Chain A
Amino acid sequence: MGWVDVIQKASEILVEKDDEVKLILASILAEGHVLIEGVPGIAKTLMAKTVAKLLGLEFKRIQMTPDLLPTDIIGGYVYDTKQASFVLKKGPVFTNVLLVDEINRGSPRTQSALLEAMQERQVSIEGQSFPLEKPFIVIATQNPIEFEGVFPLPEAQLDRFLAKIDSTYTSMEGLKKILKEIDLIEERFNGLKPVMSRDEVLASIKEVRSIRVDDAIYDYVTRIVEETRRHPAVRLGASPRAGIALVRLAKALAYINARNYVIPDDVKSLAKTVLSHRIIIKPEYEVSGIHPHKVVEDIIAKVEVPKP
């Protein structure tokens, strides 16, 4: 059983979510985190749970609220009356797949603690470092239409997400299928068996690193990233980290598609997912409706694909 089978199995539960599942899988293989932006009720949690189950990974979920503290995420020492001493109580961050629902509802302090754990892949409790399990992926969600009681993620923290997926409603046909088959879908989910083991996932992560990337592909990525800084509507372009993310995700995507080399199509198809959330639009362009997606589309249409 391979990664294509994971997508195939997931599609039996998640309707019209193949591309999003593929991106989450690619992010796991690239050892990156994913931010899913979408309205409530579009199977974000189900998607994360399904992926975790299929990969035989441990799954935990945090619902962010303004009063959530960093210790609620990373854990801390608590006094055990039976043992009459302080014992370590690990937080939900000690898992393989961590779903952070509505990340923008958490206080900046809590967001920072989480994002630090995402970056360092370890947490410090009372001065002691605890490495997180491998693989470790955070799938965070945020609601794009709420502006009250939320703390939007700063640009530096958004940059730490390898990819940002804009999840949308299913089509009418898709919705009809969900309505008709919801009981069956739930049944399938409950009976879902892992397609892969955690060790196989770790082995795949290792294999992804050896995917071939031609020099011309690096040139292509460099030119795309460079263009984000030159675009007239952009106040802050993509960082070198964005370029690294694009190459890593492209390698992972090639691996999922059963190729041992990256092609320009991989880069092109991932550019929007990787770069959009790292670009800041100038206010005057923002008010006229220019979205980062549009900027990336412009750039992709402008930058020449490597030749020959």
Chain B
Amino acid sequence: MTLKTMRRYLLLAALITVLLTQTVSGAADVTDIHSPDFPEYLDSFNPQNNTLDYIKYIQLLMELLSSANKSELFSELISNETTRENLSNLINMMKTSGDLKNAHQAETLLNYSSLSVDELLQGIKNEHLAELLREAFLNGLVSEELLRVIEEMYASGEISFDDYVRALYALQKISESSGNKELAKRIDSLLLTLLMNNLTNSALRLLENPATLDYLLKEGLSKEVLENMLQFLSNSPEHSEEALRTLRRLLGGESPFSISSIPSIRFPSLGMFALAPSLVVDPNTLAILTLFVTGFVLVSILLFLKRRKISVIISQVTQLISRRTYHFNSVVVNIYWSSVDLLGRRVQRNSNETHREYLNKVSSEMPEVSELFRDITEAYEKVRWGAQNESTFVEKVVKEFDELRRTVSRV
């Protein structure tokens, strides 16, 4: 196989990888915000950002969290005009601070409440979910079971947050119109939980950074607010223990993470590529796809090596490595090969050439060194192949090698 053919194989493998990645990215959970799973707090705080009042930001967050905690339903919470305005302001602050993901989610929760069922269904990107909902609504199959299926789809990463919220609102509206008040209420409560999670995540994102905490405390934010937040989170069953531990560490003056962070480079997400496809595709499918692509590349490489004769390649590599390390316990022999290296820059020695053949080649191409190299070669032959005692040759050969070096540098 030529290098050209090898390049073709590799190009084909690369194209297949890109196509597969494109297919995976279709699951639509890829946002245009940041690489998934990257600690976002690293650039979330910028005290030079004069357009953002961090004290107001955290107070607003705490206020909204308290209101949400007192409410039982999402509709109840946003029916209050002040709360609605506060939420809108907070969303703007989130965007200013760079917390685009939480801003987007809060905005989704806030804005989709006013859309009709048709508008909601039309906006769903996951075809399977859209079809499922349409069929369920047409056949009047609006039930807890359907809600459970939607929740499972979201939990498994099959559908995006956007689709999930649309589906919940659509199901809530149909439930209300069909008289299933209990289901509608359950969904309303679920939406409230989503908003609370969203607000808490935003607060944690801001407070995870010790620099932000320092700044806020220096600027006059009372520790009480943070302690209230810790109290609030402790009472909320929807929040993980990890989040609580983080906040406790912050209040205790420790680093938010139990282990030191590793310096890394952050890349903005590319809209068309799924940088963490495991979030949006079944891990087994992903493993099979990866195996397929890896296998294809490996087979291509093996075919290439087979064609080029692997033994030849190995011998060439070995020869290259061993060029200057002879590991032969003899001064004469090592001097001979050093001479060959020295002369090899002018008269190349082929691996199939014997020492006598190379001597003839050197004699015809570099007659200036012919005599010196002849003596060194003869000594080498006697010591290497004749196993003669080298002590009688060493002194002479060392002198001749020095002379050879000088002669070669002059020529």
A263 to chain B, nearest CB (A): 5
Taking a contact as CB atoms closer than 8 A, the residue among B326, B328, B354, B386 that contacts A268 in the complex is B354
A154 within 8 Å of B by Cβ? no
Determine if A305 and B387 form an interchain contact, defined as CB atoms under 8 angstroms apart.
Answer: no
Partner of B385, one of A263, A302, A307: A263
Alpha-carbon separation in the docked complex, A214 to B337 (Å): 18
Which A residues are in CB contact (< 8 Å) with B354? 263-265, 268, 305
Task: Indicate which residue in A265, A307, A308 contacts B357 across the interface (CB closer than 8 Å).
Answer: A265
Chain A residue at minimal CB-CB distance from B387: A212
Contacts of A259 in B (CB 8 A): 386
Interface presence of A287 (CB below 8 A)? no
Q: Nearest Cβ in chain A — how far from B361, in angstroms? A: 13
Known interface pairs A212-B386, A265-B356, A265-B357; A304-B337 also in contact (CB < 8 Å): no
B356's contact among A263, A301, A304, by CB below 8 Å, is which?
Answer: A263
Nearest-Cβ distance from residue A121 to partner chain B, whole angstroms: 32
Which of chain B's residues have a CB closer than 8 A to the CB of A260?
A: 386
Identify the interface centre among A263, A300, A307: most chain B CB within 10 Å of its CB.
Answer: A307
Contact present for B387 and A261 (CB under 8 Å): yes
Known: A259-B386, A260-B386, A261-B386. A305 touches B326 (CB 8 A): no
Residues of A within 8 A of B353 (CB): 305
In the bound complex, residues from chain A placing their C-beta under 8 Å from that of B337 are 307-308
Residues of B within 8 Å of A, CB-based: how many? 22
Is the C-beta of A262 less than 8 angstroms from some C-beta in chain B? Answer: yes
User: Among the listed A212, A214, A304, A308, which residue makes an inter-chain contact with B315, where contact means beta carbons less than 8 Å apart?
Assistant: A304
**A residues in contact with B351, CB < 8 Å:** 304-305, 307
- Among A225-245, those with CB < 8 Å from B are none
Most chain B beta-carbon neighbours within 10 Å: one of A268, A301, A304: A304
Taking CB atoms and an 8 Å cut-off, the chain A residues in 259-308 that contact chain B are 259-265, 268, 300-305, 307-308
With A212-B386, A260-B386 in contact, do A304 and B352 touch (Cβ < 8 Å)? yes
In the complex formed, the residue of A with least CB distance to B328 is A308
Please give, as numbers and ranges, the residues of chain A lying within 8 Å of B352 by CB-CB distance. 300-305
Contact with B along A243-261 (1 / 0, CB 8 A): 0000000000000000111
Residues of A within 8 A of B333 (CB): 308
Cα-based distance from A305 to B354 in the complex (angstroms)? 6
Determine the residue in chain A with the shortest Cβ distance to B356.
Answer: A265
**B351 to A, closest residue via Cβ:** A304
Nearest CB to that of A261 among chain B residues?
B386
Contact with B along A196-236 (1 / 0, CB 8 A): 00000000000000001010010000000000000000000
Cβ of B176 to closest chain A Cβ, rounded Å:
81
Within 8 A of B (CB), among A40-99: none
**Least distance between B357 CB and chain A CB atoms (Å):** 7
Residues in chain B near residue A301, CB distance under 8 A: 352
Report the bound CA distance from A178 to B7 in whole Å: 63
Give the CA-CA distance A217 to B381 in the complex, in Å. Answer: 13
> Which B residues from 100 to 158 make CB contacts under 8 A with A?
none
Cβ–Cβ < 8 Å partners of A304 in chain B: 315, 319, 351-352
CB distance from B54 to the nearest CB of A (A): 72
In the complex, what distance in Å separates the CA atom of A300 from the CA atom of B328? 25
A263 vs B337: C-alpha distance when bound (angstroms):
16
**B322 on the interface (CB 8 Å rule)?**
yes
| B312 smallest CB distance to A (angstroms) | 9
Q: List, in ascending order, chain A residues with CB within 8 A of B186's CB.
A: none
Q: Which of B276-302 contact A (CB under 8 A)?
A: none
B158 CB to closest chain A CB (Å) equals 56
Q: Which residues of A contact B249 (CB under 8 A)?
A: none
Measured between alpha carbons, how far is A67 from B327 in the docked complex, in Å? Answer: 63
Q: Which 3 A-B pairs have the closest CB atoms?
A: A261-B386, A308-B326, A304-B351
Binding site for B on A (CB under 8 A): 212, 214, 217, 259-265, 268, 300-305, 307-308
A-B contact pairs, 16 of them (CB 8 A): A212-B386, A261-B385, A261-B387, A262-B385, A263-B355, A264-B385, A265-B354, A265-B355, A265-B356, A265-B357, A300-B352, A303-B352, A308-B328, A308-B333, A308-B334, A308-B337
Query: Knowing that A214-B384, A264-B355 are A-B contacts, what are 18 other residue pairs whose CB atoms are under 8 Å apart, sorted by A's residue number?
Result: A214-B385, A214-B387, A259-B386, A261-B385, A261-B387, A262-B385, A263-B355, A263-B356, A264-B354, A265-B355, A268-B354, A301-B352, A303-B352, A304-B351, A304-B352, A305-B353, A308-B327, A308-B328
